[in-house]
Each structure stands twice: as C-alpha cells, then as structure tokens.
Amino acid sequence: MKEKTILLVEDNPDDVALTLRALKKNNISNDVVIARDGVEALDCLFGTGKYEGQDVETLPVLVLLDLKLPRISGIEVLQRLRSDERTKFVPVVILTTSKEEQDLIDGYRFGANSYIRKPVDFSNFIEAVRQLGLYWLVLNEAPPLGG
C-alpha cells in the first residue's frame, strides 16, 4: 500500500462512484483502495485472502467505513482493527447511511474516530467530504507507526 492511501470500505458501487467523485471535486488526490465488503477490508489490512503477500507495512492514512456490509459488518471490521496492536490507531471514519442510535453507540463503543451520515443532497455530501479531507488528511497528525 502506498503512503497516505485512503481505504474506502463500501459495497454499493453507486456510493463508491459518488465518493470518488466527491474526493476528486475536492482535489483530494490520495490513492484510494476500495474494499467491497468486510472480508476484503480485513484482507487488505492484514495481507490475507486476495491481498496475500502484499505489503501491509504501510497502513492507510484513513479508513472510510460503511456499516452495512455483506459477510463481515463494518462494526466487526472496526472491532478487529482495534483489537490488533498494529492497526489499533488507524483513523476510522464511519461513513454510512443510518443514524440509528444503536449504530452510533456501537461505532463509538468500538473506537471509531468519527461518525458521518451521508447526506442525500449531493452538494452537502461534497461539502462533508471536503471538511473530512481537510481534517483527517491535512490538519490531523497521524499516529506514529506501529502504535
């Protein structure tokens, strides 16, 4: 994984396209790796499955995590990330559709750094991605490698 890669965990292709578009609109030019479900996300982070043998030394600068995913849910991905020494400090922003109380509680309980609900109005979404990029990719100091 290249330096400062964003890992986008999202199963809906429309949402993938729109998120990429929003990033582009905001001139965020970081590499984006896309995982289509929870299993792929974990494979990518831990070098298993289809990412077997890939370099996992470099961690993503930011994980954008959807919650409702096939196979392994976003919350489980978050739990696995936080319980591993190597990945426990990776910034994770939950980027999802719902603001159900239970999702919010679970998200924060398992250590999400932020929780953003995707607005339906695309203009608002672009603005949300702009602020998110500014904060996590520019203002925020990343955790030291290896925790």
Partner 1 sequence: MQNDTNKYRRLFEDSVAGMFWATFEKGLIIETNPAMRRLFGVDSFEGTRATDFYVRSEDRERIKEQLLRNGAVRDLEILFKRKDGSEFWGSHSAWRYADQEDVVEGIIIDISHRRWAEDALRRSEAKYKTLFNCANDAIYIIRDSEIIDCNPQTLKMFGCTQKEILAAQSPIRFSPPLQPNGKDTRVKFFEKIGKTLSGEPQSFEWKHYRHDGTPFDAEVSLNRIEVDGEVLVQAIVRDITERKQAEEKIREANEDLRRRSAELEVLNRELEAFSYSVSHDLRAPLRAIDGFSQALLEDYYEQVDEQGKDFLRRVRAASQHMARLIDDILVLSRISRAELRYGTVDLSALVSTVAAELQKTNGKQEIDFIAAPGIAVKGDPNLLRIVVENLLNNAYKFMGNKSGTIEFGTVMQDGRPVYFLRDTGVGFDMAYMNKLFTPFQRLHREDEFEGIGIGLATVQRIIHRHGGHIWAEGEVGKGATFYFTL
Which parts of this chain interact with partner 1 (CB under 8 A)? 12, 14-15, 18, 21, 67-68, 96-100, 102, 118-123, 125
Q: Would you say 57 or 100 has its CB closer to partner 1?
A: 100
Quote the least distance from Cβ 54 to partner 1, whole Å: 30
If the CB atoms of residues 87 and 96 are measured against partner 1, the closer one turns out to be 96
Residue number, 56 or 104, with CB nearest to partner 1: 104
Quote the least distance from Cβ 103 to partner 1, whole Å: 8
Closer Cβ to partner 1, 2 or 68, answer by number = 68
Separation between Cα atoms, residue 143 and residue 92, nearest integer Å: 12
CB of 22 to partner 1, least distance (A): 8
Six token digits for residue 142? 């990343």
Q: Least distance to partner 1 from the beta carbon of 11, Å?
A: 10
Query: Can you tell me the distance from the alpha carbon of 62 to that of 45, in angstroms, rounded to the nearest whole number?
Result: 12
Query: Can you tell me whether residue 47 is helix, strand or coil?
Result: coil
DSSP secondary structure of 78-126: HHHHHTSTTTTTS-EEEEES---HHHHHHHHHTT-SEEEEPPSSHHHHH
The tally of CA atoms less than 13 A away on the side-chain side of residue 111 is 15
